[in-house]
Structure 1
Amino acid sequence: MRADIVQYWRLGKFRVYQHAYGGLLLLTVLGVDRLQYWAVCLTSVVSFQFMISGSCALDDLTGYRNGSDRRNYLGADGEFARDVATKPLLSGGLTVPQVQRWAALSMTLSVAFAGLGLLLADGPHRWAAAAVYLLCLALMPQYSWGLRASFHPAGGETVLVTTHVLCVLWPALAVGSISALMWSEAVLFAVGFLLISLCSNENDQVGDREVGRKTIAAMFGTPGTSVALVLAVAAQAAAVGFALAAGVSAWFALAAAPGLALAIAQVWAAVARRRWMYARSLGMKACNLMFAGLAIFNLAS
């Protein structure tokens, strides 16, 4: 039983706790003094994590069936060069039917927690919030299942950014409205994950290209990934500029600066040094630093 729990934990990418930052940032913007805000934001965090879990299960299923995961994890000697423990289908930890059932259960739990959050909210735009949530729910699995967005030019990257923005916006609508600060922080949160994904996809470009995935890395190689990384970190800087132009305190730029600086270091490690997995790890740390800075700013405002 314990072994199965570990396998499902790995399959669902629950170790990537940074996915919780969107909803937690929203909570700090709204204020921590109302029980309703806690209830809606925390249920949105859990809902989004289960949505991620179900989508990752479907993505692993696709990668297992088309052989891209095996190709990306094999070394030149035909032995696994990367830790397959993070891929339970490859390691034999889970079977295809188990992964399919987990994907269905995860999506069901996502709907259940989102529905609970909407019931607990008393904002005037709950129906709009429900529509935004359903759009997010519909888009997320399309990365490699259904419409298979990652098999269309830059479709995977588009789905990733869009869903990570929407996961912040729907609970904001559920309790009130969306401010310029919320938009800015949602974009910073989403693009932070894009920076991580771009580095991962660069590392997987050979296997992805062989099976027809059209990530930026698979289509344009390292030069394309490098340009995308620079544009992504520029988009984060633009999100900060947007907030300032909308009247948010200049302290916001100072709060975002450490996370933005580490994101720039991530891009440097990737573009100049070609250390893709190191850059990916820097991206995770940049998300942590960005969250800490913005949360402190929000709570102090």
Structure 2
Amino acid sequence: MSLNTAASPVAKDRLSAFVKLGKLSFYDYYLSAFIVWAALPGAQTWDGTTFAVILLYIAGYVGVVAATVALDDVTGIRDGSDARNYSPESGALRDLSRKPLLSGALTVRQAELFGWGAMAWGAVMWSLVFVIAPENSLWVGLLMVAVLVSNVQYSYGLKISYNFGQEVILVSPGLAILIPYVLLTGEATGLVILESALFGLWSLLVSIYSNMNDVEGDRLAGRRNLATLTTASTYRKIIVGAHLLEPLAVAVAIAVGAVPVWFVALMVPLWAMRVSQARSGVGQGNLLQARMLGIKLHRWGVPVLLLANVLELHV
């Protein structure tokens, strides 16, 4: 009895460490499922195949993201960048317990096995999605493979994020809207394309502040991204430019007739908060506070897109 009692807390702690390694509590990317569902036309909204495709896609995406972040942590512990970037000065804004390799809760070998297992899970789930999807065009399947492979290689293997690809690949969360929608309908509407672009940009407007905060540690680790290859002044201008991409995307979508003019009214509250985010990060240098605000805006943006889909389809 005593052995079983002792084993239970150990198993619980190990499970908690894997949950943290895979960032499974960071659900922001998976909110794309609701946006896809709300964008579907007519009776397809309640079709059983629709729910199966969306649920299996998100289940696979959880595996893809978990593999990406786990293997990123493996690289971070090996090159020392995580130890430098997660300093005690970060306090609650950079919780060391969220890095189980740094805290010693897991070994590098355990993290690698978890990462590859998560990748295999993602590959299996997405294969099932492609088989049951009503519209399984070859180009969509190839795009799914590209997302899977490139994400897993983000900081591991080819190390895309270390070789000029960090900012580009972080736009890929937007594909979590575009891909399942096309698998279900066989097309991509102007509104869905815009929402995919915005969803990806919202992810970028979180990570871009992390990159600036981590610039010294990343330089020492040999990571080549916009933050490490430019001066602080130039990178601040890049951040401002990234913020401007959001209203620019909406303006272009309206100009080509992809979305109605009223879409701007839905976005205005978010843009007002974006000004606060830029002021905090670019103006005041509170980079991690700006990052946290970016996470909140990513979440607050989801009901905005849900409302846009309802208005477009039913009003």
After TM superposition, is the score higher than 0.5? yes
Q: Does 1:34 align with 2:47?
A: yes
Residues 285, 137 of structure 1: alpha-carbon distance in 2 compared, 3 angstrom cutoff? same
Partner of 2:138: 127
Q: Does 1:17 align with 2:27?
A: yes
Moved over 3 A (4+): none
Residues 127, 22 of structure 1: alpha-carbon distance in 2 compared, 3 angstrom cutoff? same
Residues 75, 18 of structure 1: alpha-carbon distance in 2 compared, 3 angstrom cutoff? closer
Q: Does 1:228 align with 2:238?
A: yes
Residues 280 and 289 in structure 2, CA contact (< 8 A), matched pair in contact too: yes
Residues 71 and 115 in structure 2, CA contact (< 8 A), matched pair in contact too: yes
1:225 offset after TM fit, Å?
A: 3.0
Residue in structure 2 matching 1:179, options 189, 204, 211? 189
Partner of 1:164: 173
Letter in 2 for 1:117: V
1:75 offset after TM fit, Å?
A: 5.0
Residues 150 and 160 in structure 2, CA contact (< 8 A), matched pair in contact too: no
Residues 119 and 152 in structure 2, CA contact (< 8 A), matched pair in contact too: no
1:221 offset after TM fit, Å?
A: 4.0
Residues 82, 286 of structure 1: alpha-carbon distance in 2 compared, 3 angstrom cutoff? closer
SS for the counterpart of 1:143 is coil
1:4 offset after TM fit, Å?
A: 1.4
Q: Does 1:269 align with 2:280?
A: yes
The one-character-per-residue Cα deviations of 1:139-190 (angstroms, maximum 9, x if unpaired) are 112221122122223x1111111x2233322212212211111111011000
The one-character-per-residue Cα deviations of 1:201-237 (angstroms, maximum 9, x if unpaired) are 1111111111111122222243233122211121111
1:137 offset after TM fit, Å?
A: 0.7
Partner of 2:3: none
Letter in 1 for 2:255: A
Q: Does 1:91 align with 2:103?
A: yes
Instruction: Give aligned pairs, total.
Output: 296
1:23 offset after TM fit, Å?
A: 3.1
Q: Does 1:48 align with 2:64?
A: no
Letter in 2 for 1:179: T
Partner of 2:5: none
Distance 1:39 1:223 in 2: 48
Distance 2:204 2:288 in 1: 14
1:74 offset after TM fit, Å?
A: 3.4
Larger Rg: 2
Structure 1, unpaired ranges of 5+: none
1:274 offset after TM fit, Å?
A: 0.7
Distance 1:298 1:75 in 2: 44
Q: Does 1:6 align with 2:19?
A: no
Residues 51 and 107 in structure 1, CA contact (< 8 A), matched pair in contact too: yes
Letter in 1 for 2:215: Q
Distance 1:225 1:11 in 2: 29
Distance 2:94 2:51 in 1: 40
Residues 252 and 294 in structure 1, CA contact (< 8 A), matched pair in contact too: no
Letter in 1 for 2:176: C
Residues 37, 251 of structure 1: alpha-carbon distance in 2 compared, 3 angstrom cutoff? farther
Distance 1:119 1:240 in 2: 34
Correspondences of 1:65-144 after superposition (within 5 Å): 65-75=78-88, 82-123=94-135, 125-144=136-155
Residues 184 and 243 in structure 1, CA contact (< 8 A), matched pair in contact too: yes
The one-character-per-residue Cα deviations of 1:46-84 (angstroms, maximum 9, x if unpaired) are 2222111101011100010011111122358xxxx9532
Residues 18 and 287 in structure 1, CA contact (< 8 A), matched pair in contact too: yes
Letter in 2 for 1:295: L
Partner of 1:281: 292
Residues 260 and 286 in structure 1, CA contact (< 8 A), matched pair in contact too: no
Letter in 2 for 1:231: G
Structure 2, unpaired ranges of 5+: 1-10
The one-character-per-residue Cα deviations of 1:116-155 (angstroms, maximum 9, x if unpaired) are 22222112x43222111001111112221122122223x1
The one-character-per-residue Cα deviations of 1:12-48 (angstroms, maximum 9, x if unpaired) are 1112111113332122111533332222222222222
Residues 3, 145 of structure 1: alpha-carbon distance in 2 compared, 3 angstrom cutoff? same
1:280 offset after TM fit, Å?
A: 0.6
SS for the counterpart of 2:25 is coil
